[in-house]
A and B are shown apart, each in its own frame.
Chain A
C-alpha cells in the first residue's frame, strides 16, 4: 500500500466519517429489520407461512437499492469535495500524474465503500441467525451482499466520474440531460398526438432501456432484492 494511497484514504475518511455513520447504521439495521418483520407481525405461536416471509420482505426490499444509491453518491461526492474546495492546489502540488492521482482516489473511495457493505453483511447474517428460514425457501445472504456491493460500486463510479470534472462540464452535462429528457419527452408526446402514432419512443423510455436494462450500467438494480427467496 503506497504512502499516497494511505494519505488519500486518511483524507477521505476525515471528510466522510460523519455523513457515513448513519449509512453504516442503516446498512446494519435494515436487513435485520426486514428479516424480523414477518416474525414480529406473523401469527404468534405458529410457524410463519413462507408466503408471508416473502411478502413482508418484498414490501420493504426497495430500501436496499435506495441505500446503495445513497452510499455510492455520498462516498463519490466526498472524494472530490476537498479538491474542489482547495481549487486542486493540493493535488497539483503532488508529484503524480492526474491519472494516477484519480486512480488512487478511486481506490480509496472503494475501500471506504466496503464499510457499509461489511455492516450490511453483518446485519444480514445477524438477521438470518434470528429468523428461521421456512421450509421450501432458501437464504441468499452472499448474493444479496454482493448485489449491494455491485450496485453501490456502479453508482460510486458514475458519480465519481461526474464529480471529477469541472463545474462547467457538469453543468453542460446536466443542461443537455434536462433538454433531452424533459423537453424531448414533451416534444415526442406532442408528436405522438399530432401523428396519432403512439409507437414513437420517448427519450425517457430510451434512457430507461439504455441505463437500467442489461447491459446498461444500472441493470444490477433491477429484479428482486430478497434475502430469503424460493
Chain B
C-alpha cells in the first residue's frame, strides 16, 4: 500500500511541470490570438475607408491584378476553347470540359465563331470569381466558379452548363422566351425532375395536370410546359428538362440552322428536334417515367438480367476445384 501511495505521488510530481507548461503554452497562445484580433480590428476601419474612396470596379481590377501576379497561370486548349487558371485547377477541370465538349459539340456545329478561342477561367473562390466577372467585359471570356469539392459529377455538370449557356442565345427567340432565365445543360436529374411535375412545390404547378401528363396525357403535358406559345420569366426545371431532351434529339447543326426562327416555341422546338411536338413530348415523358420508383429496379429488362446473373453465379458455384481430389 505504501509503495502504491509512493508511486502515485511520483506520478503527480512528474506530471506537474507538463501541466504547468501546457497551461503556459495555452495562455501564450491566447495572448497571440488576442493580439492578432486587435490588429485585425484596427485594420478594418482603414480598409473600409480605402474601399469608400475607390470605385467597386477599380477595386475588383486591383484584386484581379494582384491575383494574376500572385498565382502563375496555365493555359490548356480543349476543343476550340482555352482554359486559363492555376495549373493544378486547370488540369482537373480539363477532363470535365473535354467531357462537356464531347456532349455539346453537335449542337455547336455551324456556330464556330461563337466558340473558337473562347477563354474559360475556372476559379474556385466565389468572391474572386465575382470580382473577375466585373472586369471581364471582353467578349469571348467566361469566368466559371468550380466548387472546391473534387466530385466529378459536379465538375462535369458545371462545365456542361457553361457550354450550354453559350448556346442559349443562339436558340430561336420564342424558345428563349418560353424557357425563361432557366439554365440548360443538366441532363442527369430525371429522377428528381419527375417530382417537380407531379408534386406541387409551393403553388408553382397544379398537380392534377402534372399527374395526367405523367400518365401519358399529351394535352396535359402541353399545359404543364406552357406550349406551344407560353412565356416564362424565371424558367423552371420542367421546361429546362424538355429543352434538353429536344437538344439531345437535334441533328448536328440544327441550332445554327434554326437560330433566327420566328415561329412560336412549339414550332421552333419541332424544327429543332426534327419531329412533331407530340412525338417529342411522348419520348420525354417515357424517359422520365422510367426513373420512377415503380420502374427503377423492377423493370423487365433489369429483372431478367439480374436473374441471368444469379444463374451464372449459381452455375459457377457448382463447379469448383475444391472436390477434385484426384
A7 at the interface (CB under 8 A from B): no
A9 close to B (CB within 8 Å):
no
Q: Mark B294-326, 1 if CB is under 8 A from A, else 0.
A: 111110011101101110011011111111000
Cβ-based interface call for B267 (8 A): no
User: Is A151 a contact of B317 with CB atoms below 8 Å?
Assistant: no
Binds A, one of B3-11, B194-202, B224-232: B194-202
0/1 per residue, B180-201, Cβ < 8 Å to A?
A: 0000000000010011011111
Contact with A157, one of B214, B293, B314 (Cβ below 8 angstroms): B314
Q: A54-B195, A136-B211 are in contact. Are A150 and B298 (CB under 8 A)?
A: yes
Q: Does A165 contact B (CB under 8 A)?
A: yes
**Do B294 and A154 touch (CB < 8 A)?**
no
Across-interface contacts of B217 in A (CB, < 8 A): none
Chain A residues within an 8 Å CB radius of B308: 215
Number of A residues with CB within 8 Å of any CB on chain B: 52
Question: What's the minimum C-beta distance from B258 to chain A, rounded to whole angstroms?
Answer: 31
* Given A88-B323, A136-B207; A102-B317 close (CB under 8 Å): yes
Known: A51-B201, A140-B293, A150-B298. A230 touches B309 (CB 8 A): no
Interface of B is mostly: helix
Question: Which of A18-26, A123-131, A177-185, A218-226 sits within the interface?
Answer: A218-226
Contact count A vs B, C-beta below 8 Å? 144
Q: At the interface, yes or no: A203 with Cβ under 8 Å from chain B?
A: no
Given contacts A198-B94, A198-B98, whether A50 and B200 have CB atoms under 8 Å apart is yes
| A92 at the binding interface (Cβ < 8 Å) | yes
Asked whether B270 is an interface residue with its Cβ less than 8 Å from the other chain, the reply is: no
Assess whether A160 is interfacial by the CB under 8 Å rule: yes
Residues of A within 8 A of B320 (CB): 98, 102, 164-166, 169
- Which of B214, B302, B323 contacts A230 (CB under 8 A)? B214
- Would A160 and B317 be within 8 Å (CB), given that A50-B199, A219-B305 are in contact? yes
Given A136-B198, A136-B210, A146-B298: A219 and B318 interface contact (C-beta under 8 Å): no
Cβ–Cβ contact B298 & A229, under 8 A: no
The interface on chain B, measured as residues whose beta carbon lies within 8 A of the other chain's beta carbons, has a size of: 43
Q: Is A171 an interface residue (CB 8 A)?
A: no
Instruction: Note all chain A residues with C-beta closer than 8 A to B317.
Output: 102, 106, 157, 160-161, 164
Within 8 A of B (CB), among A178-208: 192-193, 196, 198-199
Q: Does A227 contact B (CB under 8 A)?
A: yes
A54-B195, A150-B303, A224-B293 known; A160-B321 Cβ under 8 A: no
Q: Are A224 and B195 in contact (CB under 8 A)?
A: no
A68-97 CB contact bits vs B (8 Å, 1 = yes)?
A: 000000000000000000001001100000
Give the CA-CA distance A136 to B199 in the complex, in Å: 6
Residues of B within 8 A of A230 (CB): 194-195, 197-199, 214, 292
Asked if A28 is at the interface (CB within 8 A of a chain B CB), the reply is: no
- Beta-carbon contact of B296 and A223 below 8 Å: yes
Assess the B200–A199 pair: CB atoms within 8 A: no
Partner of B313, one of A103, A161, A223, A224: A161
* Closest Cβ–Cβ distance, residue A220 to chain B (whole Å): 5
- Give the chain B neighbours of A166 by CB distance below 8 A: 320-322
For the complex, what is the distance from the CA of A91 to the CA of B214, rounded to whole Å? 55
Taking a contact as CB atoms under 8 Å apart, the answer to whether B191 and A224 are in contact is yes
In the assembled complex, the Cα of A147 lies from the Cα of B292 at a distance in Å of 13
Question: What are 29 A-B pairs with beta-carbon distances under 8 A?
Answer: A50-B200, A54-B195, A54-B199, A103-B318, A136-B199, A136-B200, A136-B210, A136-B211, A140-B293, A143-B295, A146-B303, A147-B296, A150-B298, A150-B303, A150-B306, A151-B297, A153-B310, A157-B309, A161-B316, A169-B321, A198-B95, A199-B95, A214-B305, A217-B305, A217-B306, A220-B306, A223-B291, A223-B297, A228-B293
